[in-house]
Structure 1
Amino acid sequence: MIRIKAGVPRRPRPSPRARRPLRRALALGLPSMWGAMAITYKLTCPLAQQTDLGARIVTSAVFFAVGTGLVLQVRRSLLRELRQVRRIAGAAQSALLRPLPPRLDGLNIAAAQLSAERGAVVGGDLYEVIATEHGVRVVMGDVRGHGIAAIGTVAAVLGSFREAAHDEPDLAGVLRRLDRALARHLGERARAEHPATGAPDPDSPVAEEFVTVLLLEIGADGALRALNCGHPWPYLLSGGGVRPVARADPLPPLGPFPLPTALPFVCCGQLRPGEALFLYTDGAEDARDARGRFFPLRDALAELVGQHPLPIPQSVLGSVFTALLRHTGGTPTDDVALLVLRNDRKATCPHLGAPPAMTHPQPTNHPQHNGV
């Protein structure tokens, strides 16, 4: 049975495709109309043929009005296109760097990114947090360069991580999957830029592309394991202050060099209840003020922890970004991404503070570290 609502029937609205020719006609028609009016006035109006002061003032006023109308019409068209581009960029950001849940497996999470490219909402930094049967796995990375040009590489690395985090039983397998995904992406870019040879030009940006990556795994008992390829180590925020979770020399960034045969993780101690991890990209520490001084990230975190021993992740992000923008005068020169994870799980074991057992052998150049 078809139900008919009482009242005046609504006229069908034209589809977006049907409205496009109308918008284009208006965009071209209105400036043409303004120009035709100016030419008609100049050729046919007797006042326009006179040379006295009053006639010249009137003529100038007419052409000023015509010019103002043209400028306003062009400005309106550009603003409409800019709004559409921003909507598309926002949709791309939501699909690429999708919003993280505020809570995941007992962790309180907050993340944000600031692009250095004016008008861009996505850049060369990447992050993701996924709860798996192997623990909560985190990736934080930084693609060489920033802004729109780095989006393709970010998509390749993030897409691979979102699959590998569930499939691979250890972090080494996840890292190798990311390395292969990056190699495929760079190979496709090389073939697109040099279809004849399929190899990157030594002077091409593809040949110099690299990604710093930090893989972190948080076990059910708070045990921290990490693999680091050229990325800054996170800071541990606790009542005792601020300290890096490890000081081991990281592996080279992904891209220029092959991964070593053995990839043992670095044991980083434990994330106890109430403690937080602060992950960041090097754009935060490399930000400079007008005198060329670097942003004192660790001092800013220490001051924050001194005021609030159990910092809220959202408050940490807001305070750090505010201090960073004040330091740089509101114009950072590199993308900045921040990620804060606080352990809100309840302590279930009396020996929770004991360091986790080492399950993988450590190489001589990557010794075990428990935070200091």
Structure 2
Amino acid sequence: MTAITDFVDEVKASMSWIVPISVLTTAILGRWPLPTHADAHRPHKNPSGYSPSHTQPFKTRRTKSAMFVPGGDDKLDAHDLQREKNGEMNPQPLKTAEPKSKPESPFMNLPLEVRLAILEYCAPIPFERRGADSLDTFLTLLRVSKAIQYEAYVACLPHIPLALWTKKGVHSFRALLYRRGELGCLVRYLWIGTGKYDDEELGWAVDILREATQLKSFACGEFLLARAVNAKALAPACGRVTLMNVEKGVEYEAGYVTHLRLCAGTYSTQEKFPDVTSLCFNARRRNAVKDERMKMEYEAVDKWVENLEGFAMIERDGKRASPRGLGLRFKVRRDERPDMYSISLPARWTEWDIWSADVVGAGVWDICRVKGEPAK
């Protein structure tokens, strides 16, 4: 009996330590209750009024002042906890910093003529920096400010080959011309798309061409050219056209185009360009598969060149590693027929490089010095 009594006394002694721990645990849980499943769906109120969708709810219920502590730390020390318990820490309204006005750039203090001259100097020269990346400086200027953007367009548009490669680019430039219609007449060299268009993109492109009243050189697919000519949207001053492809069943007559370059396709388009005086197309190597088709193409071209003043073939020179422009030599000198030029270019050159070289007076028609073309 004595042994049982001693065992009960030992159990009571050990339980005396557990009771304070349970009381302390209850007190802690009463002050900072753990979130329940129901609390997970309860909306959390952000004291700043801003609650982005990706923000996770706070795990504890704290006062507003505890959620925003200078330095970014959301923990309180012992002194702050005591002040919070005594009610001395009242939430203070957040003070929004007033936006500071940016200092005006010294560049904007220069006369307008000087600013335009500086921006014009920033226009890329495609002969030196080819491809889509050649517009990097110009595109950077467009993102500086609205004032710089407008002046960059005014200064650079007449001197750059403007390429609208994608449908998004066509839509964006069309929207710009709707807001700033006076910029359309500054476009001189324009490339739109890759030759394949949907109806929506065709409509946007025609709207752009209506505004580009001083266009000199245009590169596009035949579907777009037909739509523009039939809608009388192509500027009469645009005498140089580069066709990226030739389509079947497309009817139009571009009577004022005098210089035509054909990049691909069957070259039986003479009736669509009655006033063409100079023709250029890409020479292709014959093989067993395409020999008959190419023979027909060359025969069609040979009939066409009878009434031309200049004729040139583009030949890709795989051995020529130098990127320094186009090379020229006479292919055939013929009596009572136009001389045939052979233009060689580095293997790395693309259709964009050939077309954009026209901007700096180093294009196909410039190096051929075809009849009727003024010397640069």
Q: TM-score range by the shorter chain?
A: under 0.3
Q: TM-score scaled to structure 2, two decimals?
A: 0.26
Higher relative contact order (CA 8 A, sep 6+): 1
